[in-house]
Structure 1
């Protein structure tokens, strides 16, 4: 199991929901954090919580729909000299629920792909090569279990693109100690999931973060967070490493 103490993790969408739970959990493991949100004010309170857990932390801001802002965020991290060891591409947007799905506006797709897919591609393409050069890295891309719901076509299609990108890229990491995997938090009561979701957001721990701790150099796995609920971190890692890695299969 990977010891994350002293490593640096970038968490997008860290200010609330799944991102917040991930940040607290990783800080409890001794991991230093870069907290992303749309504005620095959103992660101000979380920074203080994390500092109280004894790790280093700072915040960055970017509107993920704006490519230039994503690049500027990565430039800032690089300028600070931070070597990012772990990435949780958690942030996402669910534009709308379109009952008249035949008339889903093209803007739903454009916005969904900018935030849920293109920003992740930009982050991966910038940070993974550096991880390969240093000989270590863990990247966890958050997908969705939504199926057969054209009412959410923009969101679902952007996540399908993310799945394909992740699997394809994972095939190029075989034999390295850089691992790229997918996770799904399940339907949780968050701002995105809504109040009717069956799962408390805290149920994502430890499964949502398990991709940071697996240590068998296998990429292309899918880790459904709800199947790890109630397990210790050590138990979750053992279970996760029994999941077959299928980087070439969607």
Structure 2
């Protein structure tokens, strides 16, 4: 199991919901944190909380729909001299529920893909080559279990694209100590999931973060967070490493 103490993790959407749970959990394991949100004001509270747990942390801001802001965020991290070891691509947007799905506006797809897919490819393409050079890296991309719901076509299609990107990229990481995997928090009571969701947001740990701790150099696994509820981190890692890796082969 990977010891993350002293390593640096970037968490997108860290100010609330699942991202907040990831931040607190990783800080408790001794991991230093880069906390992303759309505004530095949004992450001020969680930054104070994780620092109180004894780790280093700072906030960065970017509107993920704006490519230039994503690049500027990555430039800032690099200018700070931070070597990012772990990435949680957690932030996402669910535009709308379109009962008349035949009339889904193109803007649903454009915004969903900008935030849920293109921003993540930008982050991965910038940070993963540096991880390969240093000989260590873990990337955890958050997908969704939504299916058979054309009412949420923009959101679902952007997550499907992310799954494809992750699995394709995984095939090129074989033989390195850089791993890229997929996680799904389940339907949780968050701003995105809504109050009717069956799962408490706290239930996402340790499963949502287990991809940072697996240590067998296998990528393209799918880690459903709700399958790890109530487990210790050690037991969760042991279970995760038994899940079959499924990259697309070259």
Match of 1:31 in 2: 31
Match of 2:89 in 1: 89
CA deviation after TM superposition for structure 1 residue 248, in Å: 1.3
Match of 1:70 in 2: 70
Which runs of 5 or more structure 1 residues have no equivalent in the other structure? none
Distance in 2 between the 1:49 and 1:111 partners?
Answer: 32
Match of 2:128 in 1: 128
Match of 1:6 in 2: 6
Distance in 2 between the 1:201 and 1:247 partners?
Answer: 29
Match of 1:225 in 2: 225
Could you say what secondary structure the match of 1:128 adopts? helix
Distance in 1 between the 2:12 and 2:195 partners?
Answer: 22
**Post-superposition CA distance 1:70-95 (Å, at most 9, x none):** 00000000000000000000000000
Match of 2:55 in 1: 55
Could you say what secondary structure the match of 2:75 adopts? helix
**Post-superposition CA distance 1:87-141 (Å, at most 9, x none):** 0000000000000000000000000000000000000000000000000000000
Q: TM-score, length-normalised on structure 1?
A: 0.99
Alignment of 1:156-175 (within 5 A): 156-175=156-175
Could you say what secondary structure the match of 1:30 adopts? coil
**Post-superposition CA distance 1:20-71 (Å, at most 9, x none):** 0000000000000000000000000111101100000000000000000000
Match of 2:106 in 1: 106
TM superposition outliers: structure 1 runs of 4+ over 4 Å: none
Most deviating of 178-187 and 240-249: 240-249
Could you say what secondary structure the match of 1:91 adopts? coil
CA deviation after TM superposition for structure 1 residue 146, in Å: 0.3
Q: How many residues align?
A: 249
Could you say what secondary structure the match of 1:139 adopts? strand
Match of 2:203 in 1: 203
Distance in 2 between the 1:81 and 1:154 partners?
Answer: 36
Could you say what secondary structure the match of 1:141 adopts? strand
Match of 2:116 in 1: 116
Distance in 2 between the 1:76 and 1:146 partners?
Answer: 34
Match of 2:80 in 1: 80
Could you say what secondary structure the match of 1:127 adopts? helix
Which runs of 5 or more structure 2 residues have no equivalent in the other structure? none
CA deviation after TM superposition for structure 1 residue 158, in Å: 0.1
